[in-house]
Amino acid sequence: MNETKSLEKHGDTITPWMELAVPLFSFGGAALAIIFWKFNILLDIRISLLGCVIASCILAYLAWNQPRKDIVALSTPIYSLVFLASPPDILPAIILELLYAVSLTILLVRFKHRYSTRESHVARDDTLAGSLKTYVERTRGMLTGTLPDTADLATDVFIKFAEGEYREAALSAKAVTTNNAALTRAFSIVAEQATLLDQSLPRPSTYGTFLPGDSDFLAISPPPDAADDNNFDITLDNALLLLFSAAWNGPGKDRVYLQPVLSFAHRLIESD
């Protein structure tokens, strides 16, 4: 309960103020430069440029706190520091500051719609149903002790794969080691098959699988007479579902990020 309240406070109070601070500082810096120019105040133009630097850092911080990293938003402080290091004359600086402020605001809107998950409310966490709910509850005890960082990684990999970002999913899942052997194999399987999907490669003759001792962790039992292609697909589905369960049963904050891809998890377990 305390964790939920803390997350709600962070999402509903802190983040909106930080989002508001991005245009406030960037346009505020431009307004300060206009005042310098209008009243012929002889001050270093870099004072007004600091507004863009601060706004860029805030935007980068907001982007860093999301499971899906917006590289463009994360890199904005670099451009602002270059801007600060080589300031132009005051009139060109005003124009550039205004354009930069507009760009940061557009990036903020883009970030909120494409990368931010704040709009998914914590109260919506309990939305699992059917076979997926049964599986997640069944494996909860077996995944007890999963480290928070591992749950975060599982969340990141599952979301990237669900959204078709196979290369990024493979990179995130590659060489992950956990305190659970079956979960470690799940990361490895997803890394391998995501790479194949990204490069449009056919099924290899040998590929990573779960061990017989991992059967309790699996959501889908392959039919005894299943063809190799079917087993290959079921192995991937089981790996993804195990990552989903690790993410969902981890720290409650990760459930918020999984909300937009719940339908993908349901399709995985219900399609076989």
**Cα distance between residue 195 and residue 174, in whole Å:** 10
**pLDDT value, residue 67:** 60
- Average pLDDT (98-107) is 92
List the structure tokens of 149. Answer: 């960082």
pLDDT tens sequence across 119-133: 443 334 457 889 999
* Percent of the chain whose predicted confidence (pLDDT) is above 70: 86
Pairs from 136-145 (Cβ < 8 Å, separation ≥ 24):
136/244, 136/245, 136/248, 136/249, 139/216, 139/217, 139/242, 139/245, 139/249, 140/245, 140/249, 142/180, 142/216, 142/217, 143/180, 143/183, 143/245, 143/246, 143/249, 143/250, 144/249, 145/179, 145/180
**Cα distance between residue 138 and residue 129, in whole Å:** 13
**pLDDT value, residue 257:** 85
- Average pLDDT (181-194) is 96
**Cα distance between residue 126 and residue 211, in whole Å:** 31
List the structure tokens of 131. Answer: 């076979």
Q: Pick the closest to residue 117 from 268, 264, 259, 219 (CA basis).
A: 259
pLDDT tens sequence across 19-76: 899 999 999 989 988 998 888 887 777 888 899 899 999 999 888 877 666 788 888 9
**pLDDT value, residue 101:** 92
Q: What is the pTM of this model?
A: 0.58
**pLDDT value, residue 12:** 41
**pLDDT value, residue 226:** 63
List the structure tokens of 266. Answer: 């349901």
Domain ranges of the chain: 2-114, 127-270
Q: Read out DSSP for the chain?
A: -HHHHHHHHIIIIIHHHHHHHHHHHHHHHHHHHHHHHHTT----THHHHHHHHHHHHHHHHHHHTSSS--HHHHHHHHHHHHHHHS---HHHHHHHHHHHHHHHHHHHHHHHHHT--TTS-GGG-----HHHHHHHHHHHGGGTT--HHHHHHHHHHHHHHHTT-HHHHHHHHTT---SSHHHHHHHHHHHHHHHHHHTTPPPPSS-----GGGGGG-S-PPPTT--HHHHHHHHHHHHHHHHHHHHHTS-THHHHHHGGGHHHHHHHHH--
